[in-house]
């Protein structure tokens, strides 16, 4: 299959996906804001700023004009950080053809509107493009994907006829792709897991042990399920790659930026200093704020996320956070996490 593909934003994940698609033989252009990124991708087939030390596909081409990654493309991947993806959709909407497939690789919930990424796309893009909107998620650290280490991911969308086509485009010998019709559940899983990765990182930074971390990861699954069900998603989706798969990876893997933020918080560093020292975005921080507001709006109890919100944004002492969770009233393990009515 001969395809022209564009990728918007050359962070680590966008670069890894672009290289993956280029290696499959698709003509792939990636738009980067930074001149140094364009130079390193085109000059030495490496993204030295956001994905250093990883050899990229030699056919991958970086461009400085966003239109060159959009106009005439059969498929455009959006990997812009979640709080900026609205701007990307606004800028590219006039350039997209009605036949262009759109795959969202960003993971988060917009702070100002509490919308998921696909909902922002549907708000901004012409109605004829809505059937072409898909999302990709799963346990996929950018560096490992770019190094062709085997993993699995899931693509989700409402258009069952085109979903198989998108699945095939991204599938390879080292990244097996599954499909789902639950784009809401898939996107929520990908966004929410970043919150709990920060929380688990805090426990690690406090040297509280593996029992504590395993318990928090497990309870996080049920907390995620309550929100997904309350918003109309499928609870079963969270048992898959975009739920448990991505949650386990992000909570336990050393390549997780969100986990690293948590570790440093648990060791006593301040959030602002941590974020100022990072080259890439830790999506769990703004997502925590969004989930706090969203849970309050629809009446869903999310004690772990709420406690983390107070640590990040209300300056609550981290040492008080674990006793606060442990001293809550006792509940049935499963009934306590039924969707709020």
Which residues, in sequence order, are bridge partners of residue 76? Answer: 6, 102
Question: DSSP E strands: which ranges in the chain?
Answer: 4-8, 27-31, 61-63, 75-78, 101-104, 133-137, 151-157, 175-180
d(CA 41, CA 243): 32
Residue 178 CB contacts under 8 Å (≥ 6 apart), including other chains: 152, 153, 154, 155, 167, 240, 241
The gap from C-alpha 333 to its chain's centroid, in whole angstroms, comes to 28
* CA trace torsion 35, 38, 43, 48 (10° rounding): 90
Tokens encoding 154: 């899931």
Q: What is the CA radius of gyration of the chain?
A: 20
* Pairwise CA distance, residues 22 & 224, whole Å: 35
117, 166, 288 from 155: Cα distances, Å: 14, 7, 24
Give the E-state strand segments of 82-174 in sequence order: 101-104, 133-137, 151-157
210 catalytically annotated: no
Pull the structure tokens for residue 221.
């699954």
Helices 284-298/209-230 angle, 10° precision: 50
**Contact indicator for 19, 60 with CB cutoff of 8 Å:** yes
51, 20 Cβ separation under 8 angstroms: no
Counts of helices then strands in the chain (DSSP H, E) = 14, 8
Residue whose tokens read 């979903």: 163
Catalytic residue among 24, 193, 210, 272: 193
User: So which residues are the catalytic ones?
Assistant: 193
């Amino acid at each position: 299959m001969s395809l022209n593909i564009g990728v918007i934003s050359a962070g680590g994940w966008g670069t890894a996906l672009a290289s993956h698609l280029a290696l499959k033989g698709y003509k792939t252009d990636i738009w980067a804001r930074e001149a140094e990124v364009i130079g390193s991708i085109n000059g030495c087939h490496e993204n030295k700023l956001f994905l250093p030390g990883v050899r990229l596909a030699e056919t991958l081409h970086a461009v400085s004009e966003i239109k060159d990654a959009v106009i005439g493309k059969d498929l455009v991947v959006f990997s812009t950080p979640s709080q900026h993806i609205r701007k990307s959709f606004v800028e590219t909407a006039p350039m997209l053809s009605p036949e262009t497939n759109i795959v969202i690789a960003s993971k988060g919930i917009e702070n100002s509107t509490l919308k998921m990424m696909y909902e922002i796309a549907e708000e901004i893009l012409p109605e004829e493009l809505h059937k072409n909107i898909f999302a990709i998620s799963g346990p996929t650290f950018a560096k490992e994907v770019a190094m062709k280490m085997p993993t699995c991911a899931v693509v989700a969308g409402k258009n069952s006829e085109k979903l198989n086509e998108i699945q095939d485009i991204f599938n390879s010998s080292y990244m097996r792709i599954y499909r789902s019709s639950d784009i809401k559940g898939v996107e929520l899983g990908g966004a929410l897991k970043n919150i709990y990765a920060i929380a688990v990182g805090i426990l690690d930074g406090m040297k509280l042990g593996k029992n504590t971390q395993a318990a928090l990861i497990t309870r996080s699954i049920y907390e995620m399920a309550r929100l997904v069900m309350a918003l109309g998603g499928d609870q079963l989706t969270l048992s898959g790659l975009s739920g448990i798969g991505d949650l386990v990876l992000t909570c336990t893997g050393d390549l997780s930026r969100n986990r690293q933020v948590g570790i440093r918080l648990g060791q006593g560093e301040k959030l602002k200093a941590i974020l100022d020292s990072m080259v890439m975005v830790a999506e769990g921080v703004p997502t925590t704020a969004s989930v706090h507001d969203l849970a309050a709006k629809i009446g869903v109890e999310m004690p772990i996320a709420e406690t983390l919100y107070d640590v990040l944004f209300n300056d609550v002492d981290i040492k008080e956070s674990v006793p606060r969770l442990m001293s809550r009233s006792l509940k049935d393990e499963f009934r306590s996490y039924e969707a709020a009515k």
